[in-house]
Amino acid sequence: MSFFHLRSPAGTTWPPIPAPEVSQLWAAYQELDRTQWHGRADIEEMQLKQLRVLLEHCSQNVPYYRRLLSDAGLSAAQIDSVAQLSRLPLLTRELYQRHFDELQAQALPPGIVTVGEGWSSGTTGVPVKVVKTNRDSLWWAAFFLRDLEWCGMDPRGRLATIRLFETARDKSRRPSEGTTFPFWTQFCQLLLETGPTHALDIREDPRHQLDWLRRVDPDYLISMPTNLEFLASLLAETGTRLPRLRTIQAVGEMLSAEAQTHIEKGFGVPVKNLYSAVEAGYLASPCPSGHGLHVHAENVLVEVLDDSNRLCVPGQTGRMVLTSLHNFATPLVRYDLLDEVTLASEPCPCGRGLPLWTNIVGRRYPMMELPGGRRKSMVGLVTGVRQAGGCHQFQIVQRAIDHIVVRVVPSRAWQPEHAMRIRQAVQDEVGMPLRIDVEERSFLERPPGGKLNLAVIEMDASST
């Protein structure tokens, strides 16, 4: 029996059928429902088949890849294993920006047309523009349905989403009480029976967000982990819950194990971790049986590489490099996303043949600059400040080699000794004399991309 309830066109009640406008989407979703149970070898064989189609298109229509394939002495037909891809160089964000004109296809396969563009958030300092097609949109919607089913999120429920409103960068134009839609997404309106969506901009004060959540009383909530942690702290302070809430989905940022525990404790409901990217769509979603995250292998071919750019073995953590299998307008082949994931050591007990990750480590924290040209990851600072407690939210900023600023949003538990604990934690981690300022804020402003990094470098040339 299907997880979803189809909204049939007029004149049909039973058996339900999708409207013509979304029949291809429903067929795509049904195909995903079938392919997830294929064996790992069969899935990889089908990925390589699609990859050869993509690379043949690139060799004919995308100047950048035509040159790379020629330089490597490689043709699309020769790609018979993932290891063969290593003959092509990695595509970094910087390379993508520099060669963007050459990376755009000069022609598209029949039936594929451009429908717009997307931009990455730019938190790495290198925002990336990707041209979207109708085929991308189709698969994005199909994986959206798979993700809902795996997360147990019934679209007939009431959804609250606290995300970035790209169309409302001017605060005076953002509706402070949010916006309500009678459906979950535009295509859901035609395809499925759904409840309403209540949407609020993530740049609103989290205290206002919580008041709003109590008013809209959702069954499901979608937001970024750093925002969810703040909301969870506010709920923990008052000892209250959102009575109807069943599930939370964390999106847009890395969800650490500590953050997930904190959010689940505050809200009292499970948190599901969706892993996607503007550049490539849905990448991985939680295994319905709780064994990690399954890669959407029908959408992307993923290589997990060690520090020497060799393929990792099961159980190993490495850097994720992806090839988007269905973007023919601005193809991404061996695109270095900079995030780290951990491969499962065994096939998933749930029976799905899709690749399994036991953990998404996320993007590496930035490296602090230290005297003598030394560098040190800021991950230890994040752990130390989190353990110091007393705040809803924090951000660590290196202003100079000998100057660290910790911005905090104090909770009710905050006492002067919390600032002392934070300074001591930073001092112990860095291991050298430095100036440590603890700045109290009512809440932390989010950058234009919406993502709040817990550790950042804000040093000019004179500070190094």
Provide the pLDDT for residue 125. Answer: 53
Beta carbons of 368 and 398 less than 8 angstroms apart: yes
Provide the pLDDT for residue 328. Answer: 96
What pTM, to 2 d.p., does this model score?
Answer: 0.89
Q: Give the list of residues 6+ apart from residue 112 with CB closer than 8 angstroms, or none.
A: 133, 134, 135, 328, 329
* Whole-number Å distance between alpha carbons of 9 and 20: 9
Provide the pLDDT for residue 122. Answer: 54
* Structure tokens belonging to residue 81: 């294993």
- Summarize pLDDT for 270-295 with one digit per residue, the tens: 999 999 998 999 999 999 999 999 99
Provide the pLDDT for residue 127. Answer: 76
Beta carbons of 99 and 330 less than 8 angstroms apart: no
Residues of the chain with pLDDT under 50: 1, 167-170
- Residue 351's Cβ-count burial label (10 Å; 0-12, 13-18, 19+) is exposed
Provide the pLDDT for residue 230. Answer: 95
Largest CA distance in the chain: 76
- Buried-exposed string 217-245: b where 16+ CB fall within 10 A, e elsewhere: ebbbbbbbbbbbbbbbbbbbeeeeebeeb
CA separation (Å) from 64 to 61, 103, 106, 309? 9, 5, 11, 22
| Nearest partner of 368 among 432, 444, 449, 439, judged by Cα | 432
Beta carbons of 390 and 418 less than 8 angstroms apart: yes
Provide the pLDDT for residue 168. Answer: 44
Cα R_g (the chain), whole angstroms: 23
All structural domains of the chain, each given as residue ranges with its CATH number in brackets, are: 36-127+277-363 (3.40.50.12780), 140-273 (3.40.50.980), 367-463 (3.30.300.30)
* Structure tokens belonging to residue 375: 């560098």
- Summarize pLDDT for 43-93 with one digit per residue, the tens: 999 999 999 999 999 999 999 999 999 999 999 999 999 999 999 999 998
* Whole-number Å distance between alpha carbons of 462 and 183: 53
| Nearest partner of 97 among 252, 364, 299, 279, judged by Cα | 279
* Whole-number Å distance between alpha carbons of 224 and 244: 20
Tokens 């990707």 label which residue? 130
Give the residue ranges of DSSP H helices in 62-133. 63-71, 93-98, 100-103
Total length of the chain: 464
DSSP string, 80-94: -SGGGGGGSPPB-HH
